[in-house]
Amino acid sequence: MKSEEYLKKAYRSIYENDFEQAIQWFEQALALEPDNGDIHYRCSITCARSNRLEKALVHARLAAALAPLQEEYMLHFDRLQSKELTLMAKRLLEGESGGSSVNKAGAAEPALRLLERAVELDPLSVDAQIWLAIAYTELEQYESALNAAQEAASLPQDDGIAKQLQELEQRIREYME
């Protein structure tokens, strides 16, 4: 079977909301064309939609490396890296440091560095901005926390997140008083 046929099957699976099957078809196409950046890119998007971040990152990294002139591949890779850094920082801030004895206050500084990089990679990430505001609050850097919360509020989001952001901004303002 040719890679185009596997791709058609992958798209059909996506249309049917069977992302796991689509990933398998993309992988079949990649077995035939392992140096095809476009297939890696499309597989990465499907993996990301299926909350398979590690696999999505692998394929995004390969797509960007194989087709460095394709700007959308690098942007996609940056967004995924931002998401990964945000998740790592969130775990630190929530005290899930993998069994180490890092306390919450001690985790805020490394989390802050991760989140600053996450925002640099994807300035449109509401999650990264929210967690950046939380990290700044933990470090009692309230002006920076308020700026991050306001930046998050300026980005597109749903009503539930908008309400949470208002509450976060209010808490930060209370800390500042």
State pTM to two decimals.
0.87
Q: Domain check: are 55 and 89 in the same one?
A: no
Q: Domain check: are 113 and 83 in the same one?
A: yes
Q: Domain check: are 101 and 170 in the same one?
A: yes
Q: Domain check: are 97 and 52 in the same one?
A: no
Q: Domain check: are 104 and 161 in the same one?
A: yes
- The count of domains in the chain is 2
**Domain containing 26 — which CATH number?**
1.25.40.10
End-to-end CA distance of the chain: 68
Looking at residue 97, what is its pLDDT? 47
Looking at residue 112, what is its pLDDT? 97
Looking at residue 1, what is its pLDDT? 78
Phi, psi of 119 (to 5 degrees): -70, -35
Looking at residue 100, what is its pLDDT? 45
- Domain extent for 7: 3-69
Domain boundary among 44, 69, 94: 69
- Catalogue the long-range contacts made by 108-115 (C-beta closer than 8 Å, 24 or more residues apart): 108/135, 108/138, 108/139, 109/139, 111/135, 111/138, 112/136, 112/139, 114/85, 114/86, 114/88, 114/89, 115/85, 115/86, 115/89
Q: Domain check: are 103 and 156 in the same one?
A: yes
Domain boundary among 37, 69, 101: 69
Q: Domain check: are 43 and 88 in the same one?
A: no
Q: Domain check: are 36 and 107 in the same one?
A: no
Looking at residue 149, what is its pLDDT? 94
Domain boundary among 39, 69, 99: 69
Q: Domain check: are 82 and 144 in the same one?
A: yes
pLDDT in tens, 65-89: 999 999 999 999 999 999 999 999 9
Distance CA 154, CA 103 (A): 32
Looking at residue 157, what is its pLDDT? 84
Looking at residue 99, what is its pLDDT? 44
Q: Domain check: are 30 and 60 in the same one?
A: yes
Q: Domain check: are 88 and 56 in the same one?
A: no
Q: Domain check: are 142 and 172 in the same one?
A: yes
pLDDT in tens, 46-55: 999 999 999 9
Q: 26 to each of 50, 55, 119, how far by Cα in Å?
A: 14, 12, 30
Those residues of the chain that have pLDDT short of 50 are 97-102
